[in-house]
Chains A and B, each alone.
Chain A
Amino acid sequence: MFPRLACAIAGVTLSALTSLHSLSVQAKAPVDPGALHTDALQDLFFGEALFNAYQDNYVDAIIGLDTELKQHRLLDDPERDPFRVHFGQAEFAVGDLELSYRMHREAGRAMQQVLQGNVAQPIKNEAAYRLAKIHYQKQQFANALHALELIQGRVPERVRPQEQFLRARVYMQLGRFEEAVALLEDLKGEKSLQGFVEYNLGIALLRAGETEKGVLVLDGLGRNAGSGTAAQALQDKTNLLLGNQLMKAEEFDRARKYFERVQLSGPFSDQALLGAGWVEANAGRFDRALVPWRMLKQRRATDAAVHEAMLAVPYAYGKLDVHSTAAVNYGEALDLFGEQVDVLTRSITSIREGKLLEALRRKEARQVKNWVVELRKLPGAPETHYLLDLMASNDYQEFLRNYQDLNDLYERNRDWLQSLDAFEDIIALRRNYYEPILPGLDVAFRQVDARIKMRLEQRARLAARIDNLLVNRRPELLAKSDETEARLMLAQIREILAYNPSLSSEETEDRIARLEGILNFRLSREFDDRLTTAYKNLQELDGVIAVLQETYQRYVRTRQAATHSYEGYSDQITSLRAGLNRAQRRIDQLMARQGSMLEQLAIHELDQRRAQLESYQIKARFALADSYDRANELQERREDERKVEEYREQADQLQQAEPAVNPDGELLPTDNPPELEAPAPEAIQDAADGEGAGDA
């Protein structure tokens, strides 16, 4: 019995160990919240990029920030642009967003530029940290460490814990567990990394050989990782890890309590139930092992742990000598395996028909929680429960996202190509509308333009005259029309009198002089008031001219806008259309390659599961036959025993009663019949010899 159990336990524990290596990778730190956050928003378009980024709409966020950065760099006077406040942050944010959009090379280049630029050391430190993050995500751990070593002094406070945590994980990946332990010890209590630090610390301690310390740390996390679904999942994962670890160390009693701590409804419950059963089975308590295993048997028929339980349950019954029940359970297992083999075969066919990729392209599926599971509900889609482990792996997730990104880009480009057609229609409409009316408008505009220019010149002349009056007082220049007319008439009278002196008289002279005097006196007396009025009138005229100039500018801009609304686009549109078509062809090819990779991996996974189930089927058939044999053997043995017992009882009764005599008066035999006595070896040998002699 023990070798079988030992192998099974080894399988479980080794699986835990295999995953142990990748646990530190999976337990990622939360996204750096400081990269995008801003307390005082100074630019609406930066805010719009944040709005997109916070919804994981990375493409729009990157495009928005990229455009703002380009425009800001092109400004003659960037100090006047409110975006300047966010400029540095935006450069980092673009790198971060590119990283989130899996554009590691671009993000890496952006960070390298910052590192090589003439910037302050804290900014370089932050860039080095982000570059290290990129390398870490690409599983280039030595490069990640090299980037971290570029950090001199302290990194900015808001990313310091993340930087330390990243460094610790890099050390773990490079096998430098003691250094990782030291860093993680320092990080204990960091709220933003709650749970993740303890988890990695526990693993680092285990890997560093400090098993008891590691168990202690993980034990604390397994008792209370915090509230919320994610924390609960981490707690369960920790307990499962500890259970497997202790089972490996053959500390079965300690392992039991960790398996028991795992929630019965959580994602790790199946593995925990399986582990709990093996703990009991190892201790020889097969009746107790049956409790978790039977519970597990009732669960989802696609789970590997359930499949294992389907065989483990009859195995335990067999150990309890209940071979008939074992046989029944093996029969159930065979039925289930058969059904699931059919499901897997259908799923493989469905993937080969392209149904998986078709389902992955559906956007609405991604809107719901657990969309991967939901995919199976689509008609003809494969059974995705078998693909959950595969789909949860980092690499497959990356392929999946790349495929979906490509699909999104393809659809975006397709929409843009349609938009370009619409743009061309708009441009044609505008051309058809404006081109006939613009020449007439231009003629009218030139007339208005000439008139406006003339008025502007008049205004300039008036202004110059008024300015001149301030220096050179000439009241007659401010005379009203009737006064000017009167002055002209008086001057004319004087000319007539000078020409014809016979008409002149003293009285006439006096009268003309008096009239001129009155006129000059009035002009002179009212000069200041009139000059003030003239100024005011000029100011009013300025107002009118400002309106005129605004109208003029508006007209000019509208005229320009009209022209610009249909001219100069054809080259740009042609170039963009060519670019989009090129991109579409490339995306199409890349999607086909990425899709094929996704399909191959999925088919490979399903094939393996099918092969596994087929192997289970073979084993179950043998075990079923074996159980039947044992059950029959047992039944026969029990029947024999029953008969023997009956005979003994009869014999006892005979011994106690009067000795029976036969009709001849001879006593009946009271000892056992010879076939119920175990023959002595010599007797067997003699019998054999006798038979041989007889034959001879």
Chain B
Amino acid sequence: MRRILITLATAVLLSLSVLASAQNVSREEIRGLDEQIQDVKKDVIGLTSELNRLEEKLLFPSNTQAAFFISLAGAASSDDFSLESVEVKLGDQVVAHHLYTYREIEALQQGGVQRIHTANVQTGTHPLVVSYFGKSKSGKEYRGSASYSVEKAVGPKFVEIQIAGTQSAIHFKDW
């Protein structure tokens, strides 16, 4: 019995030093591996960047590209509003319907901008209809819907859809 608690105490110490001793043995190996992982990350990021550009060039050439972005109007002051879903209709077709996760809502509230849809459209005028649904902290529901005419010229077209949640309004901005 006398040794039981002595063993307990030493065991506590042992358990704490497990990771330290296990790591100290192969510290150099850990560092080498970490550096190799960083290298491969760098290479893959470079490759992905090139692949993204290739994809855009192949699938969305600049003469037909139209991209639509969602942002919250007055993002910093819109903590009270939580965006639940957005639907985008281009021409007669629903091209995007997005349900937001908690992290996406936070990202929008902090000023992030979400690319909700990229399309290929001909030059000319295209009707755009956007509708959204959201809630306030108190649970009050807000809905809004608005139309816009997208004038597509020869170059790429970018449209920002700003959602002013509690005002049940949507603002459009051509970039």
Task: Say yes or no for B41: interface residue by CB 8 A criterion.
Answer: yes
Tell me whether A554 and B9 are in contact (CB under 8 A): no
The answer to whether B5 touches A311 (Cβ under 8 A) is: yes
Check A47 against B69 for contact (C-beta < 8 Å): yes
CB distance from B120 to the nearest CB of A (A): 11
Q: Is the CB of A62 within 8 A of B45?
A: yes
Q: What interface size band does chain A fall in? A: 35 or more
Task: Check B112–A315 contact: CB distance below 8 A.
Answer: no
Across the interface, which residues of A come within 8 angstroms of B114, CB to CB?
Answer: 48, 51
Contact call B112/A423, Cβ cutoff below 8 A: no
Tell me, yes or no, whether A85 is within 8 Å of chain B by CB.
no
Is B13's CB under 8 angstroms from A396's CB? no
Cβ of B171 under 8 Å from chain A = no
B146 interfacial by beta-carbon distance below 8 Å: no
Q: Which residues of B contact A39 (CB under 8 A)?
A: 76
Q: In the complex, which residue of chain B has the Cβ closest to the Cβ of A308?
A: B8
Residues of B40-72 contacting chain A, CB below 8 A: 40-45, 47-55, 57-59, 61, 63-64, 69, 71
Q: A405-B37, A423-B58 are in contact. Are A576 and B51 (CB under 8 A)?
A: yes
Bound together, the chains give a CA A398 to CA B8 distance in angstroms of: 30
Q: How far is the CB of A251 from chain B (nearest CB, A)?
A: 19
Majority-rule SS of A interface residues: helix
- Do A38 and B111 have beta carbons less than 8 Å apart? yes
Q: Which stretch from A373-381, A443-451, A600-608 is at the chain B interface?
A: A600-608
**Once the chains bind, are B40 and A11 in contact (CB under 8 Å)?**
no
Contact of A609 (CB < 8 Å), options: B15, B37, B38, B110: B15
Tally of B interface residues using CB under 8 Å: 70
- Nearest Cβ distance between residue B34 and chain A, in whole angstroms? 7
Cβ-defined contact, A44 with B113, below 8 A: yes
Interface presence of A586 (CB below 8 A)? yes
Is the beta-carbon distance between B48 and A63 smaller than 8 angstroms?
Answer: yes
Taking CB atoms, residues of chain B closer than 8 Å to A389 are: 15
A47 and B71 contact, CB distance less than 8 A: yes
A17 to chain B, nearest CB (A): 10
Bound together, the chains give a CA A626 to CA B13 distance in angstroms of: 27
Cross-interface CB contact of B45 among A47, A59, A573, cutoff 8 Å: A59
In this assembly, does A292 line the interface, its C-beta being within 8 Å of a C-beta of chain B? no
B8-28 with Cβ < 8 A to chain A: 8-19, 22-23, 26
Question: What residue of chain A has the Cβ atom nearest to residue B75's Cβ?
Answer: A41
In contact, A616 and B7 (Cβ under 8 angstroms): yes
Residues of A within 8 A of B103 (CB): 54-56
Tell me, yes or no, whether A548 is within 8 Å of chain B by CB.
no
Q: Which of A66, A105, A590, A615 contacts B7 (CB 8 A)?
A: A615
B35 at the interface (CB under 8 A from A): yes
Give every chain B residue within 8 A of A612 (Cβ-Cβ).
11, 14-15
Cα A437 to Cα B140 in complex, Å, equals 58
Q: A residues within 8 A CB of B71?
A: 41, 47
Contact B9 A12 (CB under 8 A): yes
1/0 contact trace for A28-47 toward B, CB 8 Å? 00000000011101001001
What is the CB-to-nearest-CB distance from B61 to chain A, in angstroms, rounded to a whole number?
Answer: 5
Residue A412 at the chain B interface, CB threshold 8 Å? yes
Verify if B106 is at the interface (C-beta below 8 Å from A): yes
Cβ of B111: which chain A residues have Cβ within 8 Å of it?
A: 37-38, 41, 47, 50
B38 near A102 (CB under 8 angstroms)? yes
A464 at the interface (CB under 8 A from B): no
A159 within 8 A of B: no
Contact A412–B44 (Cβ < 8 Å) = yes
A576 to chain B: which residues have CB within 8 Å?
47, 50-51, 54
Residues of B110-167 contacting chain A, CB below 8 A: 110-115, 123, 154, 158, 160
**Minimal beta-carbon separation of A45 from chain B (angstroms):** 8
Minimal beta-carbon separation of A611 from chain B (angstroms): 9
| B1 and A15 within 8 A (CB) | no
With a cutoff of 8 Å between Cβ atoms, the chain B residues found around residue A53 in the complex are 112
Convert A505-544 into 0s and 1s, putting 1 for each residue whose CB lies closer than 8 angstroms to a CB of B: 0000000000000000000000000000000000000000
The A-contacting residues of B in range 52-103, CB under 8 angstroms, are 52-55, 57-59, 61, 63-64, 69, 71, 76, 103
Q: Kindly provide the distance from the CB of B109 to the nearest chain A CB, expressed in whole angstroms.
A: 9
Partner of A569, one of B3, B9, B48, B58: B58
Is there contact, CB below 8 Å, between A47 and B16?
no
Contacts of B7 in A (CB 8 A): 615-616, 619
Which among B4, B14, B34 has the highest number of chain A CB atoms within 10 Å?
A: B4
Indicate if A214 sits at the interface (CB-CB under 8 A).
no
Chain B hits for A622, CB < 8 A: 1, 4
How many whole Å from A10's CB to the nearest CB in chain B? 6
Does A561 sit within 8 A of B, measured CB to CB? yes
Q: Give the residue of A38, A390, A416 whose beta carbon is less than 8 angstroms from that of B48.
A: A416
Q: Which residues of A contact B18 (CB under 8 A)?
A: 390, 604-605, 608
Do A63 and B49 have beta carbons less than 8 Å apart?
Answer: yes
Query: Which residues of B have CB within 8 Å of A546?
Result: none
Report yes or no: A416 in contact with B51, Cβ–Cβ below 8 A.
yes
Q: How far is the CA of A315 from the CA of B8 in the complex (A)?
A: 12
A455 within 8 A of B: no
CB A137 to nearest CB in B, in angstroms, measures 12
Q: Mark A383-427, 1 if CB is under 8 A from B, else 0.
A: 000000110010110110010011001001100100110010011
- B37 close to A44 (CB less than 8 A): no
Please tell me if the beta carbons of B41 and A594 are within 8 angstroms of each other in the complex.
no
A296 to chain B, nearest CB (A): 13
Q: Which of B3, B12, B42 contacts A619 (CB 8 A)?
A: B3
- Quote the shortest CB–CB distance from B26 to chain A (angstroms): 8
B108 within 8 A of partner (CB):
yes
The CA-CA distance from A32 to B8 in the complex, in Å, is 42
Q: How far is the CA of A601 from the CA of B29 in the complex (A)?
A: 14
Alpha-carbon distance A11/B9, docked complex (angstroms): 4
Select from chain A the residue with minimum beta-carbon distance to B155. Answer: A557
Cβ of A14 under 8 Å from chain B: yes
Q: In whole angstroms, what is the CA distance A102 to B31 when docked?
A: 13
| Chain B residues closer than 8 Å to A565, beta-carbon distance | 58, 61
* Contact yes or no, A4 B41, CB < 8 A: no
Asked if residues A590 and B33 are in contact (CB atoms below 8 Å), the reply is yes
> How many Å from the CB of B51 to the closest CB on chain A?
5
Contact call B41/A103, Cβ cutoff below 8 A: yes
A296-322: CB near B (< 8 Å → 1, else 0) gives 000000001000100110010010000
**What are 11 A-B contacts with C-beta separation under 8 Å?**
A11-B5, A14-B12, A41-B113, A50-B113, A66-B45, A304-B11, A405-B37, A405-B41, A564-B57, A601-B23, A615-B11
The 5 closest A-B pairs by CB, nearest first: A11-B9, A47-B113, A51-B112, A54-B107, A8-B5
Residues of B with Cβ closer than 8 Å to A?
1-19, 22-23, 26, 29-30, 33-38, 40-45, 47-55, 57-59, 61, 63-64, 69, 71, 76, 103-104, 106-108, 110-115, 123, 154, 158, 160, 175
Known A-B contacts: A18-B13, A587-B44. Give 18 more (CB < 8 A).
Answer: A9-B9, A18-B17, A47-B69, A55-B112, A67-B52, A102-B34, A106-B38, A406-B40, A412-B48, A413-B47, A419-B51, A550-B154, A576-B50, A597-B26, A616-B7, A619-B4, A620-B4, A626-B1
